[in-house]
Each structure stands twice: as C-alpha cells, then as structure tokens.
A and B are shown apart, each in its own frame.
Chain A
Amino acid sequence: MAFLLEPLQYAFMTRAFAASAIVGVLCAVIGTYVVLRGMAFLGDALAHAILPGVAIAYLLQGNLLIGALAAAVVVALAIGLFSRQGTIKEDTAIGILFAAALSLGVALISTMKTYAVDLSHILFGDVLGVSSADLWLTAGLGLAVLLTVALLYKPFLVISFDPVLAATMRLPADLLRMLMLILLALTVVVSLQTVGVGLAAAMLVTPAATAYLLTRRLLPMMLIAALLGALSAVVGLYVSYYANVVSGAAIVLTATAFFLVAWLFNPRQGVLRRRVRQT
C-alpha cells in the first residue's frame, strides 16, 4: 500500500496522475475512430504538425497549449480542405502538410538558443511539470471532446461504417469528418504534455487496437480502450517513478505490454489460444 501511496504525497505527482489518466481515456476514445477509419498516419502527422504552433507560442511567450491548439486546428482543416474534392488523396495531403509544418517548427526552434530542454519536453512530454492551470485546461478540453463524441455517436458511427448510408440519410458527411479531425487535433494537443509529440500517436492507436482484439462492438471497444488507456497511464507513471525512466515512454510501453498480452491470449485470434486448440 505504501508502495502505491508514496508517489501521491507530492502534489506534482497527483497532478501527473490526473492529467495522464485523462489523456489516456481521451486518446483511447478518439483512437477508436483512428483505428477503425485507418487514420493512424493522420494522428501521427497532426502530433508533429503542432510543433510550429508551440514554437511560435514560445517565442511570443504565450501559452504553449493554446499555440499547439491553433496549429492543430489549422492543419486539420487544411488536410480536410486539400483532400475533400478528391483532387489529391488524403494521405498525400497529410504527407505534404505534415512535412511542411514540422520543417517550419524546426526552423523556428533553430533560431532559439536555450531550447534543448523544452524541445525534449515537447517531443516526449513533461507530465511532472503539469501546473494546476494545465490540469484544468486538460480536463476542460477532455470533457468537451468526450461530450461531443457522446452526442454524435450515431452520426460518427454511420460516416465511419457506411458513407453511402450517410449520403442516403443526407448527413453532412464533410462537416462531420472535419469535426472528427478537430476532435483528433484537440486530443493530440491535450496529450502533448503527458506523452509528447513523438508518442501521442501510440496512445491513440495502441489501447484502441488492444480493445479491438477483445470485443466486436463499438461502444464496448471504446470503453475497454478508455479503461486500458487510463490504466496504462497510471501503471506507466508508477513504473516511471520507481524505475526512474521518462514518464511518456513508460506509459506507452505499458500500453504496448497490454496489447501484446491481448494479442497472445484474446479469445478470437489469439496466437497462443490457437496453438492450444490445435494440440
């Protein structure tokens, strides 16, 4: 018990636990759509594309989260716009914007002198440095995203599973797709502080993919993914505290461990299950 309680005596650790659990849940829920719609590349691209926003906010000494948010929304909308008319494929649009935004970010950062530490925080997260203001912003944004997903559960299901049905029902599919991109962007920004730009994509994809191995219904998949996301965050932080490793990496590796267990033992196509059944 003392083993579990010890880290919680530090206020910065309690905030870290709260922030990373929120991020774990949020990434997992949005990650469900990312996995089902094949948007993993997009999630990764968005995470990197927010770099210039963060750099500009840093240069102007503004709030880094708000800078990231603005950049993510701009990039998400631009990707939607470029690929909407079908003139270029979505992954091509992503590739162009991703590289351009990342280059802009690096160019801006290279003009600064004392940026090495902050850059590593942006790339890999700084969950121990979460302030109470950050925590409130994380909680507020997280709640807004989850509420939107809950309200638009049915339209999101239809545009993801059956675009033709969406058309026959006259759903505003383009608008909904754009909104989904914005939710994804918000999620990536919120996860910036916990796992960083480099690892956000893993938190989006891994818990959702694990849940997909365990259930074949959308709502249970989301709930299991959310549980796994939160659990990965908490277990990962303990590992980080006691083993003295970077927290973002510990969280992602914990999520990966859950995935491997599910892959080996899941009831449907688990590798070990199949082996046992054959013998």
Chain B
Amino acid sequence: MSTTSERLEVQNASVGYGDKVVLHDLTFNVPHGARVAVVGPNGAGKSTLFKALVGLLPLRGGRIFVHGQPLGNHKDCVAYVPQREEVDWRFPVTVRDVVMMGRYDHQGWIRRASVQDKQVVGRSLAQMGIADLAGRSIGDLSGGEQQRMFLSRALAQEPHILLMDEPFTGVDVPTQESTLELLDDLRAEDVTAMIATHDLGISVQKFDLMLLLNHRLIAFGSPRDVMKPEHLLRAFGTRLTVLPDGSMVVDEH
C-alpha cells in the first residue's frame, strides 16, 4: 500500500490524561473516503482517540499523519461532532451562529462573514433539514435537532475527515437516518468519516471498516473480519453473549 493513497495514518500512538494512559500503541491506516466504525466497550478510549485526532490531547508517543503531514498542519481538515452532553446548551447562541462557527477558519478570524459563507451555512442547514430552525436559540432544540445542528456545522467546515462521537445514541429515528444519509453524501465527496458507536448492527451494515478498541487495538478491517467471536470477546469480555443462532449481544450495563 502506498502512503499517498491514505488520508489518515496512525503509528504507534499512545494517548492519556494526567498519569493515566488510555490508549496504548495504536497503529492503523484509513484510506481516502472510507467510513470507519470505532467500536468498543464504555471507557475503551473511543472519545480519547477522537480527542487525540483533533489535537485536543497531546500524543504520549507515536505519530499521526493526515495526508502525509503531521497532525496540526491541516487547519480545516478535521471536523468533530461532539457528544451532546459535552455542550453548554444554555450558551446564548442561535443555530445559525453555531453553524457559522464552522466557517470561521475559512473566513478569517477578524473579517465578517462573506456571501459565500452565508450560502454555505444556508446550504448546510437545508441539507440537514433544519433551515427553519436557524434563528432558534440552541437551548430550545430537541436531541435530534441538536445533533443535526452539529452535523450542519461539520458540513459547513468542508472537512476532509469527519469524527462523530456516538451519533446514533439517544436520537430519534429520522435523525439516525439523516445521519446515515449524510455519510452517503460525504462519501461522494471523498470525506473520510470515523464514527464512535455502540451499535454493532449499524457498524456491520453501514461501514466499510471497523476499528475494535479496548485501550489497545483489538482488530481493524472489514466488518466481516472484525466481527469474530475471539475479537469481540477480547474487547467486551464477559459482557458479550453469543446466542444459539450465532448472533452476538453486548450487555453495556
């Protein structure tokens, strides 16, 4: 495999907070426009991996390259859709304000929004079906609408890599569907998407690659190769139950 065809290369990366190392020695390569489901038990380090990829947590060891360049060289490259609990919903901003934040990097930090920025914001809102909520304050949104707003912002960022933390958890079915539709649209634009999820079913059906994580990389590859009992057992331990018909259930509690 040549390195130029890869968008994201992670080499022996270790990440942690304070004294605690959460992720040990991860190595994997994600090609152009692939969709990766990042799967693992609670506390396995999925969010930590994303925080390292956006540059929020420094690497303890190893290296991360985007387009062959070390992390941090590509300002507009990575967009992150946060878990909804991480956001201060009482902050005095409207939906349009939040989506416009996705353009700040493009428009410069001092200049006002250009006509083009406004068009991109309008288009992103429309694409996620929340154009009519643009003037709403973020505290008044439902869970699904909150997520659509952050997806709109990610679109407005025109990223090369999109990271989403648990986008299928606690949202209504229409939002799940529009999230999946968005992934289709992004693939057409060659955007690489990495999604942390608990949902093994969606991972198998909708993703090209799976990354199974439990502080270390357990398995990485096509869902068929990753979803093997021995891998899942190493990731989930006794929380995994194999049913008589061969299907597997993970007990998260």
Contacts and interface: CB of A to CB of B under 8 A. Distances in A.
B101 A165 contact: yes
B56 A163 contact: yes
A212 interface: yes
B104 interface: yes
Given A154-B109, A158-B101, A168 B92 contact: no
Contacts of A218: 91-93, 97
A268 B130 CA distance: 23
A103 interface: no
B230 interface: no
B80 A164 contact: yes
B54 interface: yes
Interface in B48-91: 51, 54-56, 72, 75-76, 78-80, 82, 86-88, 91
B78 A168 contact: yes
A1 interface: no
B105 interface: yes
Nearest to A167: B56
Interface string A34-51: 001000000000000000
Contact of A36 (B79, B92, B101, B139): B92
Contacts of A169: 75-76, 104-105
Interface string A130-160: 0000000000000000000001101101101
Given A212-B92, A215-B92, A217-B94, A164 B51 contact: yes
B158 to A, nearest CB: 13
A216 B92 contact: yes
Interface in B121-137: 137
A180 to B, nearest CB: 15
Interface residues of B, number: 30
A155 B102 CA distance: 12
Nearest to B111: A154
Contacts of B97: 217-218
A167 B55 contact: yes
Contacts of A160: 91
Interface class of chain A by DSSP: helix
A170 B72 contact: yes
Contacts of B17: 86
Contact of A217 (B72, B75, B76, B93): B93
B110 interface: yes
B104 A154 contact: yes
Interface of B: 17-18, 51, 54-56, 72, 75-76, 78-80, 82, 86-88, 91-94, 97-98, 101-102, 104-105, 109-110, 137, 139
A158 B104 contact: yes
B105 to A, nearest CB: 5
Given A158-B101, A163-B56, A164-B86, A217 B78 contact: no
Contacts of B18: 86
B38 to A, nearest CB: 16
8 contacts: A152-B109, A158-B101, A164-B56, A164-B82, A165-B80, A215-B92, A216-B92, A218-B92
A162 B104 CA distance: 13
Contacts of B109: 152, 154-155
Contacts of B54: 164, 167-168
Contacts of A168: 54-56, 78-80
Nearest to B76: A169
B101 A157 contact: yes
Interface in A12-36: 36
A221 interface: yes
Given A169-B76, A216-B93, 17 more contacts: A36-B91, A160-B91, A161-B88, A161-B91, A161-B101, A163-B56, A164-B80, A164-B82, A165-B102, A167-B56, A169-B104, A217-B92, A217-B94, A217-B97, A217-B137, A218-B92, A218-B93
Contacts of B79: 168
A165 B98 CA distance: 11
A145 B72 CA distance: 31
Contacts of B101: 154, 157-158, 161-162, 165
A216 B139 contact: yes
A155 B109 CA distance: 7
Contacts of B75: 169-170
B76 to A, nearest CB: 8
Contacts of B104: 154, 158, 169
The list of the 3 closest CB pairs from A to B, nearest first, reads A216-B137, A167-B56, A168-B54
B78 to A, nearest CB: 5
A140 B230 CA distance: 70
Contacts of A158: 101, 104
A221 B86 contact: no
Identify which of A36, A152, A221 gathers the most chain B CB atoms within 10 Å of its CB. A36
